[in-house]
Amino acid sequence: MSDSGTKNLQVTLKSRPQGWVRESDFALVESPLPAIADGEVLLKTLYLSLDPYMRGRMDDVKSYAASVNLGDVMVGGAVSEVTDSRHPKFKAGDVVVSPAGWQRYSKANGDHLMRVPAGLPPSVFLGPAGMPGVTAWMGLFDIGQPKEGETVVVSAASGAVGSVVGQLAKEKGCRAVGIAGGPEKCAYVVDTLGFDACIDYKRDGWMQELKNATPDGVDVGFENVGGEVLDNVLRRTNPKARIALCGLIAGYNATEPMPLHNVRALLVNRIRLQGFIVSDDLSRWPEIIRELAGRIASGKLKYRETIANGLESAPKAFIGLLKGENFGKQLVKVS
Amino acid sequence: MSDSGTKNLQVTLKSRPQGWVRESDFALVESPLPAIADGEVLLKTLYLSLDPYMRGRMDDVKSYAASVNLGDVMVGGAVSEVTDSRHPKFKAGDVVVSPAGWQRYSKANGDHLMRVPAGLPPSVFLGPAGMPGVTAWMGLFDIGQPKEGETVVVSAASGAVGSVVGQLAKEKGCRAVGIAGGPEKCAYVVDTLGFDACIDYKRDGWMQELKNATPDGVDVGFENVGGEVLDNVLRRTNPKARIALCGLIAGYNATEPMPLHNVRALLVNRIRLQGFIVSDDLSRWPEIIRELAGRIASGKLKYRETIANGLESAPKAFIGLLKGENFGKQLVKVS
């Protein structure tokens, strides 16, 4: 075993956030390496994925997934290298996707690990060919059901999920309109990702710009933000529009929930507003990941990463993600 | 022609309401009887239907249906008697359902009229076997998709739509829980309509009563009210719950829209919240009306009517409907 004598490093939840998450809500702790049993592998984290859903796990409220207990390691997906294996399918040096959490070493049952295929940078399996990409695919196609010629509006358009949504919508023959924070992100969304337009929600009067960018109204919304953004998208909806509710990042750090004011549009325009959770249908992940990885390999699906260095930087990078300071998929390079 | 020399009496829209509708927003005007052309019939209104959707038509905003212009007759469905016919299928004395509007006489193209079948009081075709009943059927079955053993919660439960929703849910083997205003309505909903429970939203702390009445959570919501009522129903939703958004009567007279606070539940519980308009699928009305009329004839589907007397009383009765002062289906006996 190559790591004998090595210590594990973990980020644990120290306190539940009141409003905005603070770095002091996390603790950095050393611990012994986990011991592995038959069927398990020892994993060294290469890249940790940071995602908005993690904010919900820090609260002690009923949700679709259990809260992180105080003192426990923060949850999270990772790309990891096998350093020791007691599973017949894996050997040291293999690279896998695993729910490693915010830590340098983890162990896992080998039966539930996805081996990272060769030919692509492994980090894409945490981004456009990972959970965010599958989220984009399911929300857009299962709930949004876009038809050629329709208009699709995506918030957090430069992010890990939004960037895939818009590119898939373009491939489908739709008009893709993004909403993002700041001119740099908007330029990237249009110039690199190929959206038809992108609205900077930090500008005053952006509702008028959204109106101009959606001359035929909105048929499909993909909502990652909530609050004013969702209300403004609803103002542009056509009859029978579909809105995939993927995230409400605008309210994740509010002590009071962000209300939705334009409920009337849902009624008048007979809109279907539907929340979804990508982990509800795990059986479809492999097929969707193959589809997405193929598009990345051919250069058709573009992506961008923001990489923080070292596990110690994870809390700060996570807070930045919640504030929209990242650009594209937020990762932490751990080893 | 039996009505020569008779004048028509109409209720027109005099001014657009600011907040609550006032009687002075309407005008009562006399006018000549309409002349009928080939293919048309002259109709004398027996019962005029009053429905919450009419409030929307009084505003000058984009909606699924055109606003009533100032000075025009208020729109509305009616059961009418044919007094003169230039259509081969109709003769004087026939009773039909028609979009007559708030007036004593109207004309209509005979091709688009539904003849009221014999054997039931004609007014039921404005209530449980009319538009409200079809609304209940479509919202419950198409959007709610209740399964045996699930819990269905209906607001405005003693009303024309809600009363049918709950009875159909019981027939389907569901637990039916109503929300209504006041002890008298709640007693009727449980004792006469056969709901399992009914919560009086006018009582302080009714959220706790709703909780007690839905021990297994809520799988299907049928929402006629909005505002606090919808927020509280959302607090009880199970994962994958479906909510048919039929009306938002709580906000119809507010100058500011009633916000929805519990958007997070939609996401966390992967809820489908879907607005619908019963007139979107007219082709299915005849079949659904037959289903409902059969249940009324057999005594299986109970209903209750509040009947105002004389066309002059329509504005006051309509305002009462918006305030929840009616009990069951609100009608106006016109002739």
> Which 26-65 residues of chain B touch chain A by CB within 8 A?
56, 62-64
pTM of the model: 0.92
The pLDDT value given to residue B255: 66
Confidence label for A62 from pLDDT (cuts 50, 70 and 90): low
CA nearest to A223 within chain B? B267
CA nearest to B143 within chain A? A272
Confidence label for A255 from pLDDT (cuts 50, 70 and 90): low
Beta bridge partners of A313: none
Tell me the shortest Cα–Cα distance from B91 to chain A, in angstroms. Answer: 38
- Please name each of the domains of chain A with its CATH number: 7-126+304-333 (3.90.180.10), 131-279 (3.40.50.720)
**pLDDT tens per residue, range A141-188:** 999 999 999 999 999 999 999 999 999 999 999 999 999 999 999 999
The pLDDT value given to residue B127: 98
Neighboring chain A residues of B60 at a CB cutoff of 8 Å = none
Closest partner residue to A257 among B63, B247, B261, by Cβ? B261
CA nearest to B257 within chain A? A261
The pLDDT value given to residue B60: 87
Average pLDDT estimate for A223-250: 94
User: How far is residue B134's CA from residue B140's CA, in Å, rounded to a whole number?
Assistant: 10
Closest partner residue to A275 among B251, B269, B276, by Cβ? B269
Interface test with A, best of B231, B240, B273 (most A CBs within 10 A): B273
- Judged by DSSP in three states, A67 sits in coil
User: How far is residue B289's CA from residue B117's CA, in Å, rounded to a whole number?
Assistant: 11
Overall size of chain A counted in residues: 335
List, in sequence order, the alpha helices (H) in chain A.
Answer: 53-57, 131-137, 162-171, 183-191, 206-213, 228-235, 263-268, 285-297, 314-322
What value does the CA radius of gyration of chain A take, rounded to a whole number of Å? Answer: 20
Tell me the shortest Cα–Cα distance from A228 to chain B, in angstroms. Answer: 12
Contact of A6 with chain B, judged by CB distance below 8 Å, is answered with no
CA nearest to A272 within chain B? B274
Average pLDDT estimate for A322-332: 94
Tell me the shortest Cα–Cα distance from B29 to chain A, in angstroms. Answer: 31
**pLDDT tens per residue, range A121-136:** 999 999 999 999 999 9
Neighboring chain B residues of A259 at a CB cutoff of 8 Å = 259-261, 263
Tell me the shortest Cα–Cα distance from A135 to chain B, in angstroms. Answer: 13
Positions in chain B short of pLDDT 50: 1-2
The pLDDT value given to residue B1: 45
Cβ atoms A58, A50 nearer than 8 A: no
How high is the mean pLDDT of chain A? 94
CA nearest to B261 within chain A? A259
Contact of B271 with chain A, judged by CB distance below 8 Å, is answered with yes
B60, exposed or middle or buried, with CB in 10 Å at 0-12, 13-18, 19+?
exposed
The H or E element spanning position B322 is helix B314-322
Q: What angle do CA B71, B77, B81 make, to 5 degrees?
A: 105
The pLDDT value given to residue A6: 87
Cβ atoms A246, A144 nearer than 8 A: no
The pLDDT value given to residue A1: 45
What is Dmax (Cα atoms) for chain B?
A: 65
CA-wise closest residue to A42 among A113, A118, A127, A121 = A113
> Does A4 have pLDDT greater than 70?
no
CB contact under 8 A, B270 and A248: no
CA nearest to A63 within chain B? B268
Neighboring chain A residues of B272 at a CB cutoff of 8 Å = 272-275
User: How far is residue A202's CA from residue A196's CA, in Å, rounded to a whole number?
Assistant: 19
Interface test with A, best of B266, B279, B281 (most A CBs within 10 A): B266
Q: How far apart are the first and last CA of chain B?
A: 17
Q: Which residue has the tokens 């005099």?
A: B14
Closest partner residue to A266 among B262, B270, B275, by Cβ? B275
CA-wise closest residue to B194 among B278, B302, B83 = B302
CA-wise closest residue to B165 among B249, B124, B222 = B222
